Structures are given as C-alpha cells and as structure tokens.
Structure 1
Amino acid sequence: MPETLIAIVRREGVTHLRAYFRPGAYSGQWFETFAGGGDRFESRDQITVDDLYAVEALNVQVPFAVGIELLDGQLGRDISTHLREIPAAAELGSPGARELVADGAHADRAWRLLNNRSETTGIGWVIAGKLLARKRPKLIPVYDSIVRCQFGAPKHVWTRLHDQLADNDGELRTALAAVRATVGVNDHVSVLRVLDIVLWGRHVDQHRRDRPTTCPQRGGVAL
C-alpha cells in the first residue's frame, strides 16, 4: 500500500532536509534565496537572468535561445502576462490556491507555453516547472522524474498536492513547517519545497540505480 506524505515527512523529514542543507552538500540549497529570490517585488512578474542562473542550481539549464526569448522576447512577455495574474503570496494548500493551479489557469497556461517548446529547444516539463517554482515558490512545486516516480506519474499533480496540503486543516503543511524549523532552514524556503527535498532525498539513489521502468518504489507514495 502506498505510504502517506504525512507519515514520510514525520519519519524522514528532518534527516533528508538536514542532509540537503549541509554546507556544500547540494547547489539546490541556493535555489530559493539566490539574488533575493525569484518572487522579490521588483522582478516577481518577469523572468530575469538571476532566475535562469538559479535553476542551474537544480541541475538543469535553460537553452540559450529560450533564455533570450524569456529575457527579451515575446515568450518572456507572454509569461509575464500570466505571472501578473498569479498572486506572489499564494500558497498551495491555502484557500483559493486550487483555482490558481487548475487546468487552464494562468499558472497552467504559463507552464504549457514553456513545455510546448520542448521539441525545438529541449526545455521540457521539468525545467518549465522549476522556472515557475522560482517565480512562485509557495504555489508551484519543484517536480522532477525522481519525485514523479514515487507518485506513479499521475496527472493533475498541482491540484492533487493542493488537496493533500489542505487536508485535515493543513496537517501536512504544519508538519513540513516543523521539519523546516527543526533543521533551522530559512523560511523563504517554502513548505512546498521542503516536501520536494524530502521526497527527492529519500529516492534519488535508488531511482538512479534502478531507472524508472524497473524502480520498485514507483507509485509507492500516495497522492
């Protein structure tokens, strides 16, 4: 039977978050805070050079041609149009957040603009999500193949995560915040990102060894 997120966080959360934020352990520990964060007031509604560099901390790279379009082209202007409609303080699991990440909402449309370029630029769904997570870190999850494997590659991940974070009066959000406080991580690192780090940390070695098609933990976490 798949494990619940709350059980995993309570049992393993501190261990994985502490390992991730050990000095010099992972470059991703700078993703949220580099250059003041992607959601800082003066640039929260546009993709900047800082954002393109910050996603490299998560072991991905925006192709140069796409970067130019994001910084000074129609693609960037289109993404900004959507970002302006997404409150910077919106938090997944809080009232009203589900509508912000539903199919057809501005976050989904921005993600599709980026992901639809994958055949010609290689940006793909992982980088698209990480760019948007940099801009709206409390609302959009960092999500890659290692985390997806544990969930069994379901559809509608954003809304499913919202429901999990909202369930039982925000029990999971409270547990994630407690893990963050115990480890002493800057609270600019959202509880959503804490969840990503915990799930990534518990599965990365096995996933890379066994590969997704044979990974015994595929679908082992309930969502």
Structure 2
Amino acid sequence: MPPPVPIRLPEALTTPDDEVALKLLAEYYGHPYGAPHALTGAGFDVWDSTGTRAEDANRFTADDLVALMFLSLAVPASTALVLLGDRVADFAGLLAEVGPDRDLADEEEPLHPGWPAWRLYQELLEVPGVGRTTASKLLARKRPRLLPVWDTETAKVTGARSKHWEPLRLALRADGKVLHRRLLRLRDLAGLPSQVSALRVFDVICWREGIRRHAATPAPRRRWSR
C-alpha cells in the first residue's frame, strides 16, 4: 500500500495566531454561537429532533437525513428508502463493527481497506444517490470524532482529494497531537458546543477558507453552508 500523500493545512492553521481561525468559525457558527448570521450548517452537529441520537448511534435515521439538508444535501426518496428501510439492518451491523465514536487522533494503527469504517464507506457508495460527499457526511453524523466530512472545497484547500482519512490521522497525531489539541482549544475559544468535534472544526476552517478564496461575493445571511 503506497504511503499517503501528506495533507496540506489551511493557512489559518499554519500560524500560531488564532485570530483568523476564530473568525472563520464565527462566520460559520455565529458569534456568539447560534447568532442570526450563523450558517445553516451549524445545525448539522447538534440536530436531534427526537432526543434519541445517542441511542441511534448504530443506525441511520431521518434526523441524519435532515442534518444533511443543513449542508445543502438533499437525499432522494429512493436513497432514504434504502438507508432507513431496505438495508437498515445491514448498515446497523456495519456501524456496530466500527465501534463507538472516538478521536481519530487516538487511532494508533494506519487505516487500511479492511478497517470497518472503510467497508461501511464502500457499502454506502453502492447505494444509488450516495456519492463521496454524501457518504462522508453521513459517516460524520454517526461518528463525528472519528470520521471527517469531505467535499470538493475542503479537498482543494488540503490537497487530499482521495483517501484523506489516513493523511488527516497522521497530521492530527504529529508532534504529540498538537493539531488535535489546537482544534479542541479553538472550539472552546469560539464557544462551540461539545458536539462539534475537532474534525468538524478542521472541516469548517478549511471550507470557509476555500470559500473566501473562490467566492466573488460575500455570503448572504443564513445561506446554505455547503
């Protein structure tokens, strides 16, 4: 198996100054958290209309599909029927094999194609209507500390366009997990809830930085965040 391509950090994380990173988080989550100018994607991390999210950790739910809408992803009805009906037991078994949520930075062994999360990811890609971005966001809903969101904008910033889990794991573990610890510190400084994982802090910083680079006009209030 070839060595992973190193991941490129967003510019906001290449300097010890937290100001730019905190500004990007405030643009996304609002300041204070949940302020009217927050983007709808802020709801992705905390949406739990039934109050049973913890109990449903090993199965995809309607709440997960609603949460995708906060990131501008609408799952077709035929896809929902597979995830919530026809193959609900299959995916429940695969999620159980992944094990409980835990920090990607704590995974000591290299991630490989036989890793349970990889198998789950590949099975999701077999569902009509599910591509790489949708699969990654579904997994991030179920294991937010372990499995990162991926989309084309974050890929442009990081340079990790495929098989990004292992490069990110290495970056988070480097130098005594300094990046992982910084992301958690940024979360606390930004006043974000504990449901926002280190991976989501990284994702949001990357995404906002990418949007700043490529967008010609500023974002309107309460616009879709993906």
The count of corresponding residues between Structure 1 and Structure 2 is: 202
Amino acid at match of 1:91: D
Is there any run of 5+ residues in structure 1 with no aligned partner, and where? 210-223
Instruction: State the alpha-carbon separation in 2 of the partners of residues 63 and 35 from structure 1.
Output: 21
Instruction: State the alpha-carbon separation in 2 of the partners of residues 173 and 124 from structure 1.
Output: 28
Instruction: State the alpha-carbon separation in 2 of the partners of residues 38 and 127 from structure 1.
Output: 23
Compare 20-29 and 195-204 and name the one that shifted more: 20-29
Change (3 A) 1:8 1:144: farther
Instruction: Assess if the C-alpha contact under 8 Å between 2:105 and 2:169 holds in 1.
Output: yes
Whether 1:16 and 2:61 are equivalent positions in the alignment is no
Whether 1:54 and 2:67 are equivalent positions in the alignment is yes
Q: Which of these residues, 103, 115, 140, is aligned with residue 105 of structure 1?
A: 115
The percentage of counterpart residues that share the same residue type is: 29
Which residue in the other structure is 2:3 paired with?
A: none
Q: Which of these residues, 101, 116, 127, is aligned with residue 89 of structure 1?
A: 101
Instruction: State the alpha-carbon separation in 1 of the partners of residues 136 and 56 from structure 2.
Output: 18
Whether 1:35 and 2:48 are equivalent positions in the alignment is yes
Amino acid at match of 1:107: A
Amino acid at match of 1:83: L
Secondary structure at the residue paired with 2:113? coil
Change (3 A) 1:92 1:68: same
Instruction: Give the alignment's TM-score, normalised by structure 2.
Output: 0.81
Whether 1:136 and 2:156 are equivalent positions in the alignment is no
Amino acid at match of 1:114: L
**What is the alpha-carbon root mean square deviation over aligned residues?**
2.3
Amino acid at match of 2:28: Y
Instruction: State the alpha-carbon separation in 2 of the partners of residues 188 and 66 from structure 1.
Output: 26
Instruction: State the alpha-carbon separation in 2 of the partners of residues 185 and 82 from structure 1.
Output: 30
Matches within 5 A, 1:197-208: 197-207=204-214
Instruction: State the alpha-carbon separation in 2 of the partners of residues 113 and 145 from structure 1.
Output: 21
Change (3 A) 1:55 1:10: farther
Instruction: State the alpha-carbon separation in 1 of the partners of residues 202 and 114 from structure 2.
Output: 25
Cα displacement (A) at 1:10: 4.5
- Runs of 4+ with >6 A deviation: 36-39
Higher helix proportion (structure 1 or 2): 1
Instruction: Assess if the C-alpha contact under 8 Å between 2:25 and 2:190 holds in 1.
Output: yes
Q: Deviation string for 1:141-181 (max 9, x for gaps)?
A: 01100001123344320011011001111100111111111
Amino acid at match of 1:115: L
Q: Which of these residues, 181, 185, 190, is aligned with residue 174 of structure 1?
A: 181
Secondary structure at the residue paired with 1:42? coil
Which residue in the other structure is 2:92 paired with?
A: 80
